[in-house]
Amino acid sequence: MLSAGTNERTDLGRMPKNFLASWLLLLLRNWQAHGYQLIQTLMMMGLGTVDPATVYRTLRQLESEGYITSAWDPQDSGAARRMYSLTDAGEEYLQVWAKQLGQYQSVLNRFFELYTQNTDERTQNDNH
């Protein structure tokens, strides 16, 4: 994301906590994963630097609310990892989030339509 009036990237890792939760639920919808995999995938999806402590805190909260479960996955070599998976309640919560984000997207689309229209009109007025 660009800062107003500059070409500098801001840290997308400062997204609202619930937005992070919705991303985690979406990723866990398709496969089980451990925390490090989730963090790497979030960064690959373009969410910027993600604070691991925030991710693990959000995972614990989602688990305490019954939206995900976790179990230790023993490794042949190295330490066991906690694997996370989505519950039925998590799927329902994700559907609610998707609907809300869709409504938010509609509002943003209208914003940018108006912004573009006003920008085009200003450009035309400046050229006359």
The answer to whether residues 27 and 38 touch, using CB atoms and an 8 Å cutoff, is yes
pTM of the model: 0.74
The amino acid at 103: Q
CA distance 79 to 90: 28
Residue spans of the domains in the chain: they are 16-119
In the chain the first and final C-alpha atoms are separated, in Å, by 33
Q: How many CB atoms lie within 10 A of CB 48?
A: 15
Per-residue pLDDT of the chain (128 residues; tens, 9 = 90+): 333 444 433 344 444 557 899 999 999 999 999 999 999 999 999 888 889 999 999 999 999 999 999 999 987 777 889 999 999 999 999 999 999 889 989 999 999 999 998 776 677 666 66
- What CATH fold (topology level) applies to the domain 16-119? Arc Repressor Mutant, subunit A (1.10.10)
Q: Where would I find the H helices in 1-128? A: 17-30, 35-42, 52-64, 88-127
Two structure tokens written together for 107: 């509002």
84: nearest Cα among 58, 50, 46: 58
